[in-house]
Chain A
């Protein structure tokens, strides 16, 4: 199984400051079709997960452009350029390149 490892597990950020979450996979997430199926999800308190980004860097409609994804192969990053109060929650990376699909442990983002 592909193990997804996120760092840090917790981050306290001042509003308006940037935040960054790293996700490393135990093997390459490049699919045989050439795509890399790495997604980032946000889960606000008491809410279901919301998928922010897929295929490393493609934001879904409605996702603020302060969220960006980057990376390749086994190393990926989610960046929030200027954290807002509504960004509080837990962020997960997920790989959908192979079965079983696997998630990172989650990174809790709070406001300082």
Chain B
């Protein structure tokens, strides 16, 4: 059974940094592209970033480039999102998702709150 378990969320001050993790089990992780999608409180879904299976090709939402970095560790079946220079508007639940174009596997999400 495919499982995606996010962790690393929490309360951070504006300007701070956080690293989100997503532990993947139940499938051959290195065969699939992965993505992060976020949802601000009471708002819709917003794509954040995607990475291909080998970790070579990375894409970001334009406004996040330079502040967020996606990476993966195929040896340990882990997906990461490094977030820096956090802003209040980055407050959201962050979901990791498998191969957005043809998969139905999403995690339960981890809440990031940016507030002073």
Contact = CB atoms under 8 A, between A and B. Distances in A.
A95 to B, nearest CB: 9
Contacts of A50: 104, 106
A92 B44 CA distance: 8
Contacts of A41: 45
A106 interface: yes
Which of A52, A92, A97, A99 has the most C-beta atoms of chain B within 10 angstroms of its own C-beta? A99
Contacts, number: 57
Interface in B63-116: 93, 95, 100-104, 106-109
Interface string B30-70: 00000101000000111100100000000111100000000
A48 B103 contact: no
A97 B100 CA distance: 10
A97 B47 CA distance: 13
A15 interface: no
Contacts of B109: 48
A104 B43 CA distance: 11
B59 A100 contact: yes
Given A54-B102, A90-B44, A99-B59, 5 more contacts: A37-B102, A48-B107, A54-B104, A101-B50, A105-B44
